[in-house]
A and B are shown apart, each in its own frame.
Chain A
Amino acid sequence: MTLWYLARAAGLIAFLAATGSVVLGALASTGHRADDRSRDRRVLRQLAHRSAAVVTVAMLGLHVVLVVTDSFVDLSVPGALVPFTAGYRGFALGLGTLAAYSLAAVAVSGAARGRLAASARSARHWRALHASAYVVWLLSLGHGILAGTDTGRWWTWVLYAGCAAAVAGALVARLVVADRHESTSPLAAARRQLTTGGVR
């Protein structure tokens, strides 16, 4: 029974850390002000983004190991590895399995970021791959709501709603800032002209 509590706690912390990492990641490319203090804030935001990501991965690993080894619910190793084959809350656990796999891909892409900067094309692919973190977050939200033992208690709803608001807010901020930057930065405008037929 103790393991079961630990497993739930690890899962919850993983979700909270994932939320933090997604929010910080979305905000990573906001703040185009050209003074050293805002540059330093961006560096710190990046650092926090990465740290939260590391916590997410670690807690998720713990969560998976504990859930499989615990005897309170009967979850086999193949049931955990292959999505939607677990006997206990099959659909909800399937979401969790998918989330874990996509998180692995996102984490690997994050770790290999420097190496993937080699060409313009791979940099574009990198962005697309890494942006699947938003999908990971949605999957884990679904997994948490559907599989969570505590779902239904008032504090879980406050928590999920709060996290969802934070992610949505950060995403909007990112899009707005990117848009404003595109329209106010002359270099961004010139580059866009180059790629959208301003050839001659």
Chain B
Amino acid sequence: MRIEVDWTRCDGHGLCARLLPEKVGLDEWGFPVIDTPEIGDDLVPHARRAVGACPALALRLVPG
């Protein structure tokens, strides 16, 4: 699985970084920095939680 941000919607709330700190950092304005978007099986539940928590509906977990 891979995590994707729709940058036209992301508001920089930064909740994703709190729920998936293994993958998501934040820049100085609160927007996510994701170095490797591939999500290993162990992190998929956390990634789903982050997707569900994004207030802007900007995150997506896609196959691949």
Direct contact of A and B (CB under 8 A): yes
Residues of A at the B interface (CB closer than 8 Å) are 28-29, 32, 34, 36, 39-40, 42-43, 46, 113-114, 116-118, 120, 123, 126, 185, 187-188, 191
Taken together as a complex, chains A and B put the C-alpha atoms of A188 and B57 apart, in Å, by: 15
Taken together as a complex, chains A and B put the C-alpha atoms of A89 and B29 apart, in Å, by: 56
Partner of B59, one of A29, A42, A117, A120: A117
B34 at the interface (CB under 8 A from A): no
Task: Check B12 against A29 for contact (C-beta < 8 Å).
Answer: no
- Name the residue on B nearest A124 (C-beta): B57
Task: Check A39 against B55 for contact (C-beta < 8 Å).
Answer: no
B15 at the interface (CB under 8 A from A): yes
Residues in B with CB closer than 8 Å to A113 are: 52, 57
B33 at the interface (CB under 8 A from A): no
- Name the residue on B nearest A40 (C-beta): B18
Shortest CB distance A193–B (Å)? 14
- Name the residue on A nearest B58 (C-beta): A117
Shortest CB distance A162–B (Å)? 27
B2 at the interface (CB under 8 A from A): no
Partner of B13, one of A42, A118, A191: A42
Shortest CB distance A14–B (Å)? 24
Task: Check B51 against A114 for contact (C-beta < 8 Å).
Answer: yes
Task: Check A43 against B15 for contact (C-beta < 8 Å).
Answer: yes
- Tell me the B10-37 residues at the A interface (CB within 8 Å): 11-15, 17-19, 29-30
Taken together as a complex, chains A and B put the C-alpha atoms of A191 and B48 apart, in Å, by: 27
Task: Check A120 against B19 for contact (C-beta < 8 Å).
Answer: no
Taken together as a complex, chains A and B put the C-alpha atoms of A46 and B19 apart, in Å, by: 12
Taken together as a complex, chains A and B put the C-alpha atoms of A46 and B57 apart, in Å, by: 14
- Name the residue on B nearest A46 (C-beta): B53
Taken together as a complex, chains A and B put the C-alpha atoms of A154 and B56 apart, in Å, by: 42
B60 at the interface (CB under 8 A from A): yes
Task: Check A39 against B52 for contact (C-beta < 8 Å).
Answer: no
Taken together as a complex, chains A and B put the C-alpha atoms of A39 and B18 apart, in Å, by: 7
Taken together as a complex, chains A and B put the C-alpha atoms of A43 and B49 apart, in Å, by: 10
Taken together as a complex, chains A and B put the C-alpha atoms of A43 and B60 apart, in Å, by: 18
Given A34-B14, A117-B60, A118-B60, A42 and B19 touching (CB < 8 A)?
no
Given A34-B30, A43-B19, A114-B52, A126 and B57 touching (CB < 8 A)?
yes
